[in-house]
Amino acid sequence: MNPEKEISKMAEIEALLFQYGEPTSIKKISNILDIKIESCETLINQYELELNENEKRGLTILRKGDKVQLVTKPVLKRISLKIAKKEFAEELTPAALEVLTIIAYLGPILKTTIDFTRGVNSNYILRNLLIRGLIEREQAGHTYNYQVTFDFLKHLGIGSIEKLPDFEEYRKILEDYREKISNN
């Protein structure tokens, strides 16, 4: 394999794992990147080695069965806990409210659709909302569908999602948008 292509493919693997933010099968990665499974495994092993050998890097690869995930190194656990404590002591950020609104009006919704709609990765915000109990996720094949919880409805003081302000109007706009996305 050409070293320039290896670097390029390794960068693509890094970007893909960052974007998904969830355990992803090596087969899926190889299909998306259009490379052989063996080459994909080799590149992931090289990337993992590169991350683990460099003390200046805060990430590593987590493996379970045939799935891999880009995660914070266990040695940096205290930083993750500090961030989580700070986040939960504060009000929801504008970004968290944006994600919550997207899920409320479009849910159940795939993470990839949330990310596409916002134009950025929503992993941390989704995890934050899950921990707060405002959203829940349900397995949908190899990914998850996100939807609001009963706690969310109780917090707003409404009996159902359809009672959100202008629900029908926004639901129609968002469904048209979702259809447009899926046709592209």
pTM, to two decimals: 0.52
pLDDT tens string 96-135: 988 998 999 888 898 888 998 888 989 889 988 988 888 9
Cβ–Cβ < 8 Å for 155, 98: no
Token pair, residue 141, equals 């094949």
**In the CATH hierarchy, which top-level class contains the domain 91-183?**
mainly alpha
CA angle 62, 54, 57 (to 5 degrees): 65
C-alpha distances in angstroms, 29 versus 20, 76, 157? 10, 27, 42
CATH of 3-75, one of 1.10.10.10, 1.10.510.10, 3.40.50.300, 1.10.3720.10: 1.10.10.10
Note the pLDDT tens digit of each residue in 17-65: 988 877 899 999 999 999 999 999 999 999 999 999 998 998 989 888 8
